[in-house]
Chains A and B, each alone.
Chain A
């Protein structure tokens, strides 16, 4: 019994210290941007833009088919099931809740974890092994500002943009796919039910979800990269752990924000 309690205690303590570490990494990296201006700050913005390109633009072709299929399936299911239970009036509301508020952010975040989270964890891990962080510091460049900040901010911006794209493709593209395969669905009825169901609150909730999810994926991946230390063999382990921990974080963020939005 004592050993169970002791291992539970250790798990809780290590979990709390991990959350503390990840939070500090986020806060300190964001704070660096308010520090002294350097002539080389334009390099930091260039890295930020590259990060948005890698995480956001390059993910479009992965996101597009997934958003189309999810949109199509959800729309078909709703228009088949809703009339059977007399719930045709809430079709728009349900689509907004399922696609815009839940599946959009969640599925996009999962894709970003698989594509960019692992890439960041591996990149940072390799940089740790080859002393690049110390080397940057030794030439007076703060790695938090030069390496961490653009990756965190880039991922937050990219994820938010991708979620908007996913939702638009899911709802609009899904509709056209449904029409294309021959299901009769009046255009006006569909879009009027969507727009009348969407509230400002929905948009605020999605915005905060994507920001927090993007930040969580980035800092967790970077943190796992840091943990590689000087051991090459730990690089793939960092990638694996970044996926697992980011998934847990993303689902927790989703759950917590959704719950708070209904309180």
Chain B
């Protein structure tokens, strides 16, 4: 069953400006892990925001969980948001709430869980992500990596049906990136996950579907294996850079071992 459908979607942030997305068509099935890749400024984050119902298309339709975002009422969209989680590039934590209150916010706002029940849900996730020492710190007192991990923690705690990750690995150190990869890999297959990423490496391991957006147009939509056969110059370049990176890391690893 398709959980997300894009039908001839056009979108621009400003009136009469060049559209960021041009006649985009895409389908994502339930419990699929979809990676949106593409060039910088090519419309990946816009695609994700449209898919999450945070913005609506100028023309065309975005249908998510049976809700047409263009015609949906605000309460309908809010109900959908409760069933999904969006992880922003810069975490999206509320700046005047400490880490614990940030993570507890959706639970306190939408559920009647007691403070003990909320704590029992939050503590294991905080511990797993190594954020225990930041329990009572404001987002501004944490590093970018830690803020991003906290954003991911908040999304996991509410246990949504759909996850939207906007470049979850960008700007993370090696250890933090590893933690994020583990979490996303664990969710893959049991939840619908839509991720935007600059590189192919991580997606090649867990993605069921790749959608490649170049300058607002989809140039590839299909399985990870199919990318190898694509003749599109952008994808070819991406594959080459992946090979180079892999070779570099293999030799680095070898040198370290020696």
Contacts and interface: CB of A to CB of B under 8 A. Distances in A.
Contacts of A49: none
Nearest to B160: A139
How many residues of A sit at the interface, in one of the four size bands?
20 to 34
Interface in B82-123: 82, 84-86, 88-96, 105-106, 108-112
A130 interface: yes
A90 interface: no
B75 interface: yes
Interface stretch (A32-40, A92-100, A201-209, A255-263): A32-40
Interface residues of B, number: 32
B52 interface: yes
B87 to A, nearest CB: 9
B191 to A, nearest CB: 16
B209 interface: no
A134 interface: yes
Contact of A39 (B95, B110, B151): B110
B109 A141 contact: yes
Contact of A139 (B79, B95, B154): B154
Contact of B108 (A43, A127, A132, A138): A43
Contacts of B91: 130, 135
Interface in B47-106: 49, 52, 54, 74-75, 78-79, 81-82, 84-86, 88-96, 105-106
B92 A130 contact: yes
Contact of A35 (B75, B106, B109): B75
A138 B78 contact: no
Chain B, interface SS category: mixed
Nearest to B102: A135
A200 to B, nearest CB: 41
Given A134-B54, A137-B81, A139-B154, A39 B112 contact: yes
Contacts of A86: none
B158 interface: yes
Contacts of B52: 138
Interface in A193-251: none
Nearest to B74: A142
A139 B91 CA distance: 13
A142 B54 CA distance: 12
B95 A140 contact: no
A141 B105 contact: yes
Interface string A21-48: 0000000000000011011100100000
B75 A139 contact: no
A131 interface: yes
A169 B52 CA distance: 53
B81 A139 contact: yes
A20 to B, nearest CB: 17
A135 B112 contact: no
Nearest to A135: B92
Nearest to B54: A134
B75 A140 contact: no
B110 A140 contact: yes
Interface in B119-164: 151, 154, 158, 164
A130 B111 contact: no
Interface of B: 49, 52, 54, 74-75, 78-79, 81-82, 84-86, 88-96, 105-106, 108-112, 151, 154, 158, 164
Interface of A: 35-36, 38-40, 43, 123, 126-127, 130-132, 134-142, 146
10 contacts: A39-B108, A40-B108, A40-B110, A43-B109, A132-B92, A135-B88, A138-B164, A139-B82, A139-B106, A142-B74
Given A127-B94, A134-B49, A138-B52, 17 more contacts: A35-B75, A36-B75, A38-B109, A39-B110, A43-B108, A126-B95, A130-B95, A131-B90, A132-B95, A135-B93, A135-B151, A138-B85, A139-B86, A140-B81, A140-B106, A141-B105, A142-B74
The 6 nearest A-B residue pairs measured at CB: A135-B92, A40-B109, A138-B86, A140-B82, A140-B81, A139-B106
